[in-house]
């Protein structure tokens, strides 16, 4: 009888030992996968960080040009940028046909941009830069006769 109890005890101990070993191996595999994913993410983040630093270390030269027209219309769906460069932050999307008030204009890297104000009823994210290719100036609008 004691031998049977001892054998059952050893059997249960072996079962739990094997189960713990399987769980340990599974955890090791999981840690290896997470380590690989973490390293990939670190590498991607470092690349992004390097590009961001490079972008902010480059100086931008803006040649301000007197504004000929004070109003205009957005000619196609476009974005309102916080600065007059395409990789700057986007404040909002602007729909085609939106009336705008022109504040200033500037030439950056051979591209003409207009600093504009949209939707005068809202005072958040309503002032920014739009490339001239996306605008029709008031002086260029032909009134029907």
Contact 90, 54 (CB under 8 A): no
pLDDT of residue 15: 93
Q: Which residue matches tokens 């309102």?
A: 80
pLDDT in tens, 108-142: 988 999 999 997 677 788 899 999 999 988 777 66
pLDDT score recorded for residue 58: 66
CATH 2.30.30.40 fits 63-140, yes or no: yes
Mean pLDDT of the chain: 86
Q: Which two tokens stand for residue 97?
A: 């046909």
pLDDT at 143 over 70: no
pLDDT at 142: 60
Rounded-to-integer distance, Cα 4 and Cα 132, Å: 91
Contacts of 97 (CB under 8 A, 6+ apart): 73, 74
Beta-strand runs (E) in 1-145: 63-65, 71-74, 78-81, 90-94, 99-108, 111-118, 127-131, 135-137
> pTM of the full predicted structure?
0.59
pLDDT in tens, 20-48: 999 999 999 999 999 999 988 888 887 76
Per-domain residue ranges for the chain?
1-58, 63-140
Whole-angstrom Cα Rg for the chain: 32
């Amino acid at each position: 009888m004691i031998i049977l109890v001892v054998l059952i005890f050893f059997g249960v101990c072996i079962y739990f030992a094997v189960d713990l070993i399987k769980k340990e191996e599974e955890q090791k595999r999981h840690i290896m996968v997470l380590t690989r994913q973490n390293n990939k993410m670190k590498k991607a983040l470092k690349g992004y960080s390097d590009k961001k630093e490079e972008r902010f270390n480059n100086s931008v030269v803006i040649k301000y040009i007197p504004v000929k027209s004070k109003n205009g219309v957005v000619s196609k769906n476009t974005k309102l940028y916080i600065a007059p460069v395409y990789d700057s932050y986007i404040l909002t999307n602007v729909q085609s046909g939106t009336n705008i008030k022109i504040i200033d204009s500037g030439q950056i890297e051979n591209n003409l941009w207009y600093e504009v104000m949209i939707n005068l009823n809202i005072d958040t994210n309503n002032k920014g830069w739009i490339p001239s290719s996306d605008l029709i100036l008031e002086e260029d609008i032909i009134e029907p006769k």
